[in-house]
Amino acid sequence: MDGGDVFMRVLKRGIVGVALLCASGAYAAKIDSLPPAMIGTWAFVKGACAAQDGDGRMVVAARSITFSVSYLELSGLDQQPSGAVYAHAKAHEEGETETSEVDVTLTPTPAGGLDVTIGTDTTHATARCSR
């Protein structure tokens, strides 16, 4: 078997693999808003649900995330087969007139929480306060 035959076999297997991957639906899907399971008020620490103005909570809406002194406007949402959602965001900080651009990942946890990664920093919301 020469190099051309090996190349053709690898190419055919690659095409079949891509076709199977696409047929299985195992790729990111563009979505217009966050899934309902992610939307609501979340607490980072036990007891933070009761503190309306505390910094131990975040409010997740269809296309935004609000923290005590900042919020993120989400765009370009992609839902992964794992359930995680990747998005681009404009970050608004309290007292600032300029925004910054960040990448955001929201990942449901097996324990029913929601991890939010902004850039390389991850916040663990362990309890849902409300939907």
- Listed as ranges, residues in the chain with pLDDT below 50 are 6-8, 10-12, 14-24
Answer yes or no: do 63 and 110 share one domain.
yes
pLDDT for 6 equals 45
CA distances from 39 to 74, 83, 87, 89 (A): 13, 14, 15, 16
Answer yes or no: do 8 and 43 share one domain.
no
Answer yes or no: do 36 and 22 share one domain.
no
Domain with 4, as residue range(s), is 1-27
Number of structural domains the chain divides into: 2
Give the pTM: 0.75
Answer yes or no: do 11 and 39 share one domain.
no
Answer yes or no: do 38 and 97 share one domain.
yes
pLDDT for 1 equals 55
Q: How far apart are the first and last CA of the chain?
A: 62
Answer yes or no: do 20 and 52 share one domain.
no
pLDDT for 17 equals 42
